[in-house]
Amino acid sequence: MGHFVVKRFLFFLFVVWIAATVIFIIPRLSGQDPVKEKLLLEAQRGGAMQTGLDEMAKTYQKRFGLDQPLWTQYVNYISDLARLNLGVSIAFFPRTVNDIVFESLMWTLGLMGTVTILAFVLGTLAGAFLGWPRRPGWLQYVFMPLLTLSAIPQYLLAMILIFIIAFKLGWLPLFGGYSPSTLPNLSWDFIVDVLRHAILPAFAIIFSAIGFWA
């Protein structure tokens, strides 16, 4: 048993290393300079002149370690990744990637934890009712579409729901955890606003997971 666990763990580390290496290589094969493009974008947004952009780009490249040899960048990248240090964000400089991930992780865990329990309960009840010999005849016609939806990936189902319910009908928000004009607090208005933003992603997960649990 211990040998199997060690083997699987080593395979997991190997997969993580391969994925991290691919993520490191692909952006560099594109020939694009993310630092210079970000500075250019910010200059265009602010209507500023683009003079001195190359000098600024070199300064930020040194800050991010992009002026070093490729092998040095790779060693530093893998070393930081092993210590769970994801570095500084280019898009949201000077914030760290860890802070950005942690900020979003709380919302993700809250949504996924609640919705997974809901999907488990509803799916288990659905399976029990469908297997009940004395179930009503109409019950199978209600649950069969849900079983079909379980074959659709959650992200695709979410996009469909967003397009129809949020974009076309305008019944629910398109994105976000709460309205941009709202400050997080413990008021009922804020709680209701958060719930409105959570409905679409929650339904996408529940609809695609009920069939699995059933």
Q: Strand, coil or helix: what is 154?
A: helix
Q: Could you tell me if 91 and 130 lie in one domain?
A: no
Domain ranges, residue 169: 100-213
pLDDT recorded at residue 211 = 66
Confidence grade of residue 176 (pLDDT, cut at 50, 70, 90) = confident
Same domain, 142 and 180: yes
107 and 133 housed in the same domain = yes
Regarding whether 130 and 194 lie in a shared domain, the answer is yes
Of the residues 75, 95, 115, the one at which a domain ends: 95
pTM recorded for the entire structure? 0.57
CB–CB of 64/90 below 8 Å? yes
Q: What is the mean pLDDT of the chain?
A: 77
**105 shares its domain with 91:** no
Do residue 116 and residue 204 come from a single domain?
A: yes
Q: Are 58 and 114 found together in one domain?
A: no
Same structural domain, 115 and 208: yes
* 47 phi/psi in degrees, rounded to 5: 70, 25
Q: Binning pLDDT at 50, 70 and 90, where does residue 53 land?
A: low
What average pLDDT does the segment 179-186 reach?
77
Check whether residue 58 and residue 137 sit in a common domain: no
Q: How far apart are the first and last CA of the chain?
A: 31
**Taking a C-beta distance cutoff of 8 angstroms, is the pair 197, 178 a contact?**
yes
Phi-psi region of 65 (alpha: psi -120 to 50; beta: other; left: phi over 0): left
**DSSP structure class, residue 184:** P
Last residue of a domain, one of 48, 65, 95: 95
Closest among 66, 74, 67, 68 to 25, alpha carbons compared: 74
Domain C-terminal end among 95, 113, 136 = 95
The lowest-confidence range among 77-86, 87-96, 112-121 is 87-96
Evaluate if residue 159 carries a pLDDT over 80.
yes
Whether 47 and 126 map to the same domain: the answer is no
Which whole number is the average pLDDT over 62-91?
A: 79
Residues 72 and 107 in one domain: no
d(CA 174, CA 172): 7
Are 49 and 147 in a shared domain?
no
Structural domain count, the chain: 2
Backbone CA torsion sign across 179, 182, 186, 190: negative
- How much is the pLDDT for 103? 81
Among 9-18, 134-143, 153-162, the range of highest mean pLDDT: 9-18
2 phi, psi to nearest 5 deg:
-65, -40
